[in-house]
Structure 1
Amino acid sequence: MRSDVLLVARPGRGPHIECAGALAARRTEPDVVHLLSAAATPLGGDVISVRIIVEAGARLRVRSAAASVVLPGAASLLSHSSWDLEVAGELDLDPQPTVVAGGARHHTSTRLRVAEAATARVRESVQIGRIGEDQGFWSSALHADIGGSPLLRHRVELGRGSVADDVLGTPKACVSELRYPATGFDSAGTVLELAGGGSLSTWQGQRLGG
């Protein structure tokens, strides 16, 4: 199944929302939108596309109503999600964790284009497997530009077959957070200041919240 979400934040107006497929979105506060599942997704074979536009002078916070549980489909283990973020105002994107269960494989890509005067916070967290599961795989690629110039190219893999897969101790959970223009913030992970402005925090371990 293919699911598409479009969110557009404009100054002085409520967010514009368009949805199709298994994902829905609801405005829960004047500048807050929650994503929620209208059907089970992502399953193997599913493709999810989320586009977010925040115009200059507008503010948008995006959350999710629950964690996303990725499951294998009847014909495929692999699912995809993509996030296209265009920010001239203020965006805070912090969905609930993604749990890759049952041996599923999930690929995420995020493309962020942020204006020099804008503010962005993009947080992603993932857990490989429910209790007793460890055979899933997840990868994430983040491509961020500031004012048309490269800001960050970042890729992470977790789980069975990842570059960090090792029988002696493979990380099964990850939290990544990009902030612009903040050059530092409190985090459980390692915070790196970026040459073009902003900062990136990355944490890996066995269990989220553990």
Structure 2
Amino acid sequence: MRACIVVIARPGRLPRIEGSGGIAGRHTEPDTVHLVSTAATPLGGDSLKVRVVVEPGARLLIRTVAAAVTLPGAGTDHSTAWWDIENAGELDIDPQPTVVAGGSSHGTAVRIGLADTARLRLRERVQIGRCGERDGFWSGTLCVDVGATPLLRHRVELGSGAVGDDALAAPRACVSELRYPARSFETAGTVLELAHGGSLATWQGDRLPAG
């Protein structure tokens, strides 16, 4: 299944939402959109594309109503999610965790273009395996530019077959949080100040913390 959703935020208006496939968006506050799965997805072979545009002076919060659970498909175990973001206003993206079920593989790619005046908070949480499961693989890439200036190139692999996988003590959960232009903030994990503004916090462990 191929699913696609576009959310465009303009000052003084409800965000515009266009969706197709197994995903839809719902206005839950004047500046908040919740993404909702309308079918069993992501399964192996599924692809999700999310396009977000925040115009100058606009504010947008993106949330999801439930965790995303990836499952292997009949022909392949791999599914993908692509986020393409242009932000010239204030954007806060904090979806529920992605749970990579045993036997499945999932890849997430996020590209963000920021204006100099933009404000951003992006949090991503991933858990390998449901209760009692240790296999499953996830890879995530994050590419962020401020205007024409590169801000961040970040890649993480987690789970069975990852570069740092170890049967004895390898992490099976991670949390990444990017903020711009804030150069530091209080959170669990390690906070890295970025050279051109903003900061990235990363945490890894066996199970995701509550909240």
Q: TM-score, normalised by structure 2?
A: 0.98
- 1:181 alignment partner in structure 2: 181
Alignment of 1:64-143 (within 5 A): 64-143=64-143
Native 8 Å contact 1:49 1:83 kept in 2:
yes
Q: CA deviation at 1:102?
A: 2.5
Q: CA deviation at 1:165?
A: 0.4
Native 8 Å contact 1:103 1:134 kept in 2:
no
Residues 114-165 of structure 1: per-residue CA shift (max 9 Å, x gap) = 1111101111000000011111000000000012210000000000000110
Q: CA deviation at 1:168?
A: 1.9
Point out where structure 1 has 5 or more consecutive residues left out of the alignment.
none
2 CA distance for matches of 1:209 and 1:40? 26
Native 8 Å contact 1:6 1:50 kept in 2:
yes
One-letter identity of the residue aligned with 1:90: E
2 CA distance for matches of 1:12 and 1:29? 13
2 CA distance for matches of 1:37 and 1:200? 29
Native 8 Å contact 1:35 1:65 kept in 2:
yes
2 CA distance for matches of 1:44 and 1:167? 25
Residues 179-200 of structure 1: per-residue CA shift (max 9 Å, x gap) = 0000000110100000010000
- Please tell me whether residue 14 in structure 1 is matched to residue 14 in structure 2: yes
One-letter identity of the residue aligned with 2:140: S
For this pair of structures, how many residues does the alignment match?
210
Q: TM-score, normalised by structure 1?
A: 0.99
2 CA distance for matches of 1:96 and 1:148? 31
